[in-house]
Amino acid sequence: MLHTVAVRALGIDPGLAVTGFAVVEVLDRGGRINDYGCIKTDSRLAAPERLGIIYNRVCEVIHKWSPNLVVIEDAFVNVKYPKAALQLGEVRGVISLAASNLNVDISEVRPSEAKLALTGNGGAGKVQVENAVRRILKIDAPAGSSHVSDALALALTGLSRGGWFNWP
């Protein structure tokens, strides 16, 4: 589908210690990275402070880039670590709140869906996903962080799911 107006997706790989984010823009037939990075929180801070840091930074990115869509990784729950699952839910909650408060649509993508969309294999590893992201976006250097690579994969999957971007 050919677009004359840029469509942007903000992909977010949530985590209390490190939240990866990436803004991908599509215009005509190409995709490009507008911004990316990691939101890191200090483990010595109380959880509400850490969540506030994530919320504020996500709001800043949304204000700066005005994405059409926020794509967040769907929760993966390992029953062996219930506290980690609860923390992840809190992080996802503040990210969803930021997007909702700023009137941005939210889409959730399972990791296996992103892997399948980008590599053709729902069980692909981190290296395969990063290589697919680099190929699709035509970038030479690695993303620098698996959190950023995952966020890029989520943004691309959200754009593809919405019919805004397809790749060979």
Which pair of structure tokens corresponds to residue 155? 């943004």
CATH homologous superfamily of 7-161 equals: Ribonuclease H-like superfamily/Ribonuclease H (3.30.420.10)
- Other beta carbons within 10 angstroms of residue 51's beta carbon come to 20
Q: Which helix (H) or strand (E) holds 142?
A: none
Domain locations in the chain? 7-161
Best mean pLDDT range from 3-12, 96-105, 137-146, 156-165: 96-105
Which pair of structure tokens corresponds to residue 165? 């971007």
pLDDT, tens only, 107-119: 999 999 999 999 9
Which pair of structure tokens corresponds to residue 40? 């890191």
Q: Outline where DSSP puts E strands in the chain.
A: 7-13, 18-27, 30-40, 69-73, 105-109
Q: Could you identify the residue written with the tokens 């959200």?
A: 158
- Other beta carbons within 10 angstroms of residue 120's beta carbon come to 10
Evaluate whether 155 touches 24 at the Cβ level (below 8 Å).
yes
pTM of the predicted model, to two decimals? Answer: 0.92
